[in-house]
Structure 1
């Protein structure tokens, strides 16, 4: 990495999240001197890239930093000699997400961006594109770290570490940092004083213990979560309260996404009501995005607007920028990341990707040892990992049967016949973005 500063390339640079990322880089400029930030997108994202790119330039100008912002539709031009590459793309844009949510709901099953059938199809569309990007990285900036924020982050990271030649890949998610801030608030403590032992998978993450200044406060957290109106959740997930006895017996802190698995019936009921009103989460997000980009167009705006916090990606920049900073400075701090297991969770395959606490060094993240997961959570985590591994294979090979099997393994898909109907309908709806499935004779493969 050059002494004159580093080069970062963000693929999916026209995303509404970009101002959050730029703000994070500005805040950390003294420790991470970014010389060039390249924002890259595709032709379909040209207008948004231009809008968000101009805002990024105004933000840097306001901060009076020598950080050059480049906008490009040419990925290969941008990637040359990059030190870090971040990915925050959405194949098929928000219209694809709307289909991911509406089609399963039409058949009476959960429709969600990263869970169930919606999560499978986001993976099927996204993984081939990311694998293609890693080929360019290997050719043009082989020493670069790829920091993936693209959902489903766990499955994408799994695919890249298993099927690409580029092994400097780390998945990041804002769920752990959201949980940390929420728990710090519950305990009335400063977030920097709160340490949570995390273990599991992306969007299937549990807090296994909570320490404040060296003392375990886990019992207190479980009590507070059982009796408080303040629920650990995120903008995109309904804050349904947990049943007290269940929570006390579980003795692990569920992530907001666990509501889809432990409260499936109630979550489905609420989603179906939204579906009937034409207001699925994806459709709400699309309206938010339109409003955000209207704000971004304002030539006098030179900060990240506070309305972005409603988008659901709060603390994204902290997750991504902290990781870049710690690798660049060889900091040796602890962050919760998606990495190859390597024995961290002994009850999962050593070569599978897990989401765990890691020590972040100049050579990358080193996962901390957890041992086996507690029995109450081991079964569900293993089932989701089976789903992920099968889904990744389907994405890479284009196997119809593996895609169907992945659906049926997922606990949110409750019937194999309906699963096939959903699979066929979603393959047709997304066929433009699923070239690996175009030969439908693969039903027999």
Structure 2
């Protein structure tokens, strides 16, 4: 049986140990000969890598492990690149959130002006990793779950249209697990869904079980009463107070169109006034993460290094991220499994921009993916999506062309922003904050 070589791009991430343990939990179906970490922050990566090295020696000594900041060493002889990078780390995320809030605008990691700022940083990083993969391992596949996925996907469509990259997001997977739990199912894999939208901007239109039973009425009953809060105990991810409030708010998002089940992120576009009102401009989600997950994971890593053993280390497999192994297996073993991917529309949603990067169900095998046609979508969703896809395309054009005008237009067009003047004030602050990361805009 073939064993695979994997590089995790973003080796210093707090999510990396969970990814490693998840890979080890699935060696029976996805055997691995080599795991590499790659990051451009050597100091940060070294802490995570040293701890994972100890863990691997104790639990899977047969797997070769290396970590490096050298692209050639990292990307040579690999079959899969798992990319979850955060350009600018949490310090820049904090600014993404706090700068818009200063002007009474939603401050969020992937939505609104903060998401566009993050996108402008991420484009170059993802393209760079893709270039390394294609130079040193041209037959490899890149499984990209770096945020903001919609903007990154549009950038790869424009700049690397023939690359072997699959863009995927974990949020719909988490929500499908919650819906499966509402229906008493063991796993989301016992459901078959129809879904359409953009990343962090979509709706489930049909959900059936394996026997063809319509599960939508039962799920709608839960969502109408409590959003997704009826099923929040199944995963350790997304359990902070801010996330619990987000899951509950879905109840109000659902009420706007009770024919579908919405993605949680739609609250930022449909209820921006509520979001701002319930935000603390001095302490945002970035601060929650830095004070919580960041300290917890790096504390555990340092403890492992000091003790020289991973016993009772507090590391847990990121079971929630098992979709990454599922996706790799679909390519490696031609399983023809269904996934929600971010792909060029090209008629899959028949009454929508064919060049848009849409999130829809696809069947994945060794030759890539085949889209499952979703047909025509309702006017309400179509109108929202046309506005948002224009925002995303303008952002990518601003990055490619170095255009201040297009970036101003992108922020102005965001449904989270009240006026062109506010958009310009936010943009000028974001340019100053991102001077080391964005291309020069003129």
Q: Is TM more than 0.5 here?
A: yes
Matched ranges for 1:24-39 at <5 A: 24-39=22-37
CA contact (8 A) 1:59 1:303 kept: no
Cα shift at 1:227? 2.1
Q: Give the alignment partner of residue 258 of structure 2, picking from 237, 250, 254.
A: 250
What residue in structure 1 maps to residue 146 of structure 2?
150
Q: Does the residue aligned with 2:358 lie in a helix, a strand or coil?
A: strand
CA contact (8 A) 2:110 2:116 kept: yes
Cα shift at 1:171? 1.0
CA contact (8 A) 2:6 2:79 kept: yes
Cα shift at 1:305? 3.5
Distance 1:229 1:331 in 2: 33
Calculate the aligned-residue CA RMSD, in Å: 2.2
Relative to structure 1, is the Cα distance of residues 54 and 147 closer, same or farther in structure 2, using a 3 angstrom cutoff?
A: same
1:223-262 Cα shifts (integer Å, max 9, x gaps): 2211247537844533344557962743111111111122
Cα shift at 1:376? 2.8
CA contact (8 A) 2:250 2:264 kept: no
What residue in structure 2 maps to residue 394 of structure 1?
398
Cα shift at 1:184? 1.1
CA contact (8 A) 1:130 1:156 kept: yes
Distance 1:22 1:105 in 2: 36
Distance 1:391 1:116 in 2: 12
Distance 1:177 1:145 in 2: 21
Q: Give the alignment partner of residue 203 of structure 1, picking from 186, 200, 204.
A: 200
Q: Give unmatched runs, 5+ long, in structure 1.
A: none
Cα shift at 1:35? 1.1
Q: Does the residue aligned with 2:77 lie in a helix, a strand or coil?
A: coil
Q: Does the residue aligned with 2:124 lie in a helix, a strand or coil?
A: helix
Relative to structure 1, is the Cα distance of residues 244 and 76 closer, same or farther in structure 2, using a 3 angstrom cutoff?
A: closer
Q: Give the alignment partner of residue 179 of structure 2, picking from 183, 196, 200.
A: 183
- After TM superposition, the structure 1 stretch with the greater mean CA deviation from structure 2, 8-17 or 112-121, is 8-17
Q: Does the residue aligned with 1:109 lie in a helix, a strand or coil?
A: coil
- Alignment length (residue pairs): 425
* 1:78 partnered with 2:87: no
What residue in structure 1 maps to residue 310 of structure 2?
301
Distance 2:105 2:25 in 1: 43
Distance 2:429 2:252 in 1: 40
Relative to structure 1, is the Cα distance of residues 135 and 382 closer, same or farther in structure 2, using a 3 angstrom cutoff?
A: same
Distance 1:282 1:160 in 2: 27
Distance 1:243 1:31 in 2: 38
Relative to structure 1, is the Cα distance of residues 316 and 72 closer, same or farther in structure 2, using a 3 angstrom cutoff?
A: farther
CA contact (8 A) 1:174 1:315 kept: no
What residue in structure 2 maps to residue 103 of structure 1?
99
Q: Give the alignment partner of residue 276 of structure 2, picking from 234, 243, 268.
A: 268
Q: Give the alignment partner of residue 10 of structure 1, picking from 8, 33, 53.
A: 8
CA contact (8 A) 1:23 1:317 kept: no
1:259-318 Cα shifts (integer Å, max 9, x gaps): 1122221111111xx22xx32101111122023201122223358836x79xxxx65522
What residue in structure 1 maps to residue 353 of structure 2?
349
Distance 2:11 2:88 in 1: 15
Distance 1:423 1:14 in 2: 29
Q: Give unmatched runs, 5+ long, in structure 2.
A: 233-237
Distance 1:371 1:227 in 2: 30
- After TM superposition, the structure 1 stretch with the greater mean CA deviation from structure 2, 258-267 or 62-71, is 62-71
Distance 1:245 1:257 in 2: 9
Q: Give the alignment partner of residue 121 of structure 2, picking from 117, 120, 125.
A: 125
Distance 1:324 1:25 in 2: 11
Distance 2:114 2:62 in 1: 42
